[in-house]
Amino acid sequence: MRERTILTVIVISLVLIAIGYLVATQIDLSALLPVQASSRSVIVDQLFRILMGIATVIFLVVEGALIYAVIRFRKAPGDESDAAPIHGNNALEIIWTFIPAVIVAVIGVYSYQVLTEIERPGEEPLVVEVTARQFFWEFYYPEADVSSQILHLPLGKTVHFQITSEDVIHSFWVPEFRVKQDATPGQISELIVTPTKVGRYPIRCAELCGPGHAAMTSEVVVEEQADFERWLRGDIVAGATPAGQAQPESADQTGRALFVDLGCSACHSLQNAGATGIVGPALDGIGQAAAGRVADLDAEEYLRQSLLEPDAHIVDGFTGNLMPNDYDERLSEEQISTLVDYLLDQ
């Protein structure tokens, strides 16, 4: 009887292992995961596949044994007697300690290899300093002394990100690169990535950092080396225009480009700029609305002061201490005027 039960459990386990293996190998993870756009995404996905496979097999075997036990050893109708006392089973305990220990050890060694591989420094890497602020990203290229709110990277070149935050903890996340790294105030975290696929991919914040967290997005543009260099040369503090596109010509276009590149869209809504943020006041019609907001200030004065000293006038229903207050340092006088004029026209 006892032998039959053990035999049954072994047979069921073997069948479930076979099913688990088939399921794990047949799942097309590439259809579920984002495209692989960096060299590390291939080995990270491989590791994920193996973990997923092992987990699938263990899940089926454990749940299969559980269901079998529940049915096979259920109480017979009218049986009020106690179950037989059991004082442990050495063989069983050795088996269920040994097998998980081996699995964990194998996963540990393999994960360590993957980690070593993805953290290997590149030769002559491109250094990009990433600064997180509530609620936008800034990317600074120290060699070229260029900063941008959109991340441009040359194809095939290893990038060393040096990530930090100016306020709270954020997390730099590019799903297509398979990277996620906390941005911590007062600390610089290094992250190494080699982009392998031309394209545009979303950048997200993966750490709840305040009311604008969900809107704290940007974009990484992976492009050919020549396109990247052209972009880098043509860039101004915030006038980052995607490579291959014409530089903005009219004042209106420059204003819109500034608005977008400074990350204003993360918090404000403005139809002209395709912005839908809800953290800060809506800006459609602001050219009219700005005039009557504060006595003694005309629309231009109001907008200029609201840009440079964001907490000077808080619109009803919104909180202060959220908008960056260093635009007087980050923008030239010309850029400030362009932005104010742009908003006056809205």
Q: Which residues contact 48 (CB under 8 A, 6 or more apart)?
A: 29, 33
Interface residue with ligand CUA, options 207, 223, 227, 261 (CB under 6 A)? 207
Q: How far is the CB of 115 from ligand CUA (least distance, A)?
A: 25
What does the block give as tokens for 58? Answer: 């263990």
Per-residue x/- track, 116-135, ligand CUA (CB under 6 A)? ----------------x--x
Q: By the 8 A CB rule, do 337 and 301 touch?
A: no
- Residue pair 222/199 in contact (Cβ under 8 Å)? The answer is yes
> Cα–Cα distance between 183 and 133 in angstroms, integer?
9
Total number of residues that touch ligand CUA (CB under 6 A): 9
If binding is defined by CB under 6 A, does position 138 make contact with ligand CUA? no
Q: How far is the CB of 220 from ligand CUA (least distance, A)?
A: 16
What's 122's DSSP letter?
P
94-113 residues near ligand CUA, rule: CB under 6 A: none
Residue 209 in contact with ligand CUA, rule: CB under 6 A: yes
152 in contact with ligand CUA (CB under 6 A): no
C-alpha 201/C-alpha 176 separation (Å) is 7
Q: What distance in Å separates the CA atoms of residue 125 and residue 39, rounded to the nearest whole number?
A: 14
Nearer to ligand CUA by Cβ, of 37 and 209: the residue is 209
Q: Does 304 bind ligand CUA (CB under 6 A)?
A: no
Check whether the bond before 135 is cis (ω within 30° of 0). Answer: yes
Determine if 205 is a binding residue for ligand CUA (CB under 6 A). yes
Q: Which stretch binds ligand CUA (CB under 6 A): 5-13, 41-49, 208-216, 332-340?
A: 208-216
Q: Does 213 bind ligand CUA (CB under 6 A)?
A: yes
Closest to ligand CUA by CB, 136 or 231: 136
Task: Say how many residues make up the chain.
Answer: 346
The minimum distance between CB 325 and ligand CUA, in angstroms, equals 18
Contacts of 128 (CB under 8 A, 6+ apart): 139, 140, 141, 151, 153, 159, 160, 161, 162
Binding residues (CB under 6 A) for ligand CUA: these are 132, 135, 170, 205, 207-209, 213, 216
